[in-house]
Amino acid sequence: MTTQSNITQQGEQFSPSRNIINPRLDALPDYPFERLRDLLDPLVPPADLAPIALSLGEPQHPYPDFVGEILHANRHLYGKYPPVAGTPDFRRAVADWLNRRYELPDGMVDPDRHIAPCAGTREALFRTAFMAVPPTKAGQQPVVLMPNPFYQCYAGAAIAAGAEPIFVSARAENGFLPDFAGLNESILERTALVYFCTPGNPQGAVADLTYLENLVALSRKYDFTLVVDECYAEIYNDAPPPGTLQICAANSGDMSGILVFHSLSKRSNVAGLRSGFVAGDGELLMLFRRLSEYGGSPSPLPVYAAATALWQDEDHVVANRALYVEKFDMAERILSNRFGFYRPQGGFFLWLDVGDGEAATKELWARAAIRVLPGAYLSADDDVDNNPGKNYIRVAMVHEKSIMEDALTRIADTLS
């Protein structure tokens, strides 16, 4: 029965009393793109310039034609509920790719035990905190560590799971790699989960094998789950970024406490396909799949079929990477010696030091119709209210070469 107490009249705004709302929601940071809209919506860009959005990491390169063909050929499977565990073919394709990409020993990654699919990685990264954060750690509120700047999903997951998020600065002086081991012993003992991203978003720093080895050792010393987000691993300039599973391979294949995440969104330019995977500790993945049965979002069977083919194909990945290399060559020519320009080791972002990221963002939109993201919107203040991203803007190099050349030229002309 529908009553007035549980519906609202048309035009009314539902305003629930605070005693029925989870108070943790109040602690969630404002999402950066909402802040960006609030910042830029009052401004009017020049009417004679076509707007170019460089604020969102949404690849605009073409994806292989076979994606559409496979989706169409398997369209009859949309009528079936997809399995949370994915298909055997998908899991095998992922295991084979991991073995090729990271030169893992045969048998280390069992497709049925060490791999779980996910509908893109953001939802799965978020869900992992509910699996990995206990009510207490060392008799206190648990801690979740993450780089600063950070992917907002990490902070939201920590807060929603009842942990204290602690942001560990990743600045130019430490190579944009957070020093987790340098934290106080009291913090490390409370740490239940660490989120880490390599290549990093937004700075593009790549953790070498020594850094990853030390991070894995730290996770085992203090008994926390280590989540390594490697979704940009296939976009790089020179040498392919190492992976965390290589450290596990060097330790007799021991993946205990380790989870790595990969996605097709950046690798294959199919962000809308919503397909990725998590690999690592078999016991953790058993819990991950169990939790997924309750609140997961499995990909449709035609998507699994297309994703299987994408993990089996390297030609489109090589071509995609070459396009990014060409654009970074161009960026180096246009921006070199300005705005602290450096060529990132991986990923597809520029992290430009413009003195005041928020002011530069407004100026670029109002004068050049270029939409970027202030670095402060991806970062948190440290203990002395010093936000490591406040001087920066993040520029997503996601458009085709001609559009990017226009955009980068406008940025150089406007901010100079």
Residue pLDDT, tens place only, 156-194: 999 999 999 999 999 999 999 999 999 999 999 999 999
| Residue 7: per-residue pLDDT | 32
Find the DSSP H helices in 222-356.
244-250, 264-267, 282-295, 301-312, 315-335
Taking 60 as the threshold, does the pLDDT of residue 10 lie above it? no
| Residue 2: per-residue pLDDT | 33
**In the beta sheet, which residues pair with residue 144?**
165, 193
For 396, phi and psi rounded to 5 degrees?
Answer: -85, 120
Per-domain boundaries in the chain: 19-61+316-415, 65-313
Taking 70 as the threshold, does the pLDDT of residue 373 lie above it? yes
CATH 3.40.640.10 corresponds to the domain 65-313: yes
Kindly give, in sequence order, each residue whose CB lies less than 8 Å from that of residue 151, ignoring residues fewer than 6 positions away.
125, 195, 197, 201, 229
Whether the CB-CB separation of 195 and 227 falls below 8 Å is answered with: yes
Residue pLDDT, tens place only, 298-346: 999 999 999 999 999 999 999 999 999 999 999 999 999 999 999 999 9
Kindly give, in sequence order, each residue whose CB lies less than 8 Å from that of residue 223, ignoring residues fewer than 6 positions away.
257
Question: For 53-75, what is the mean pLDDT?
Answer: 97
Taking 80 as the threshold, does the pLDDT of residue 224 lie above it? yes
| Residue 83: per-residue pLDDT | 94
Residue scoring higher pLDDT (25 or 376): 376
Q: Encoding tokens for residue 81?
A: 């509920």
Percent of the chain with pLDDT over 90: 90
Q: How confident is the model at residue 11 (pLDDT cuts 50, 70, 90)?
A: very low
Chain centroid to CA 362: how far?
A: 25
Q: Which class is domain 19-61+316-415? A: alpha beta
Question: For 250-257, what is the mean pLDDT?
Answer: 97
pTM: 0.93
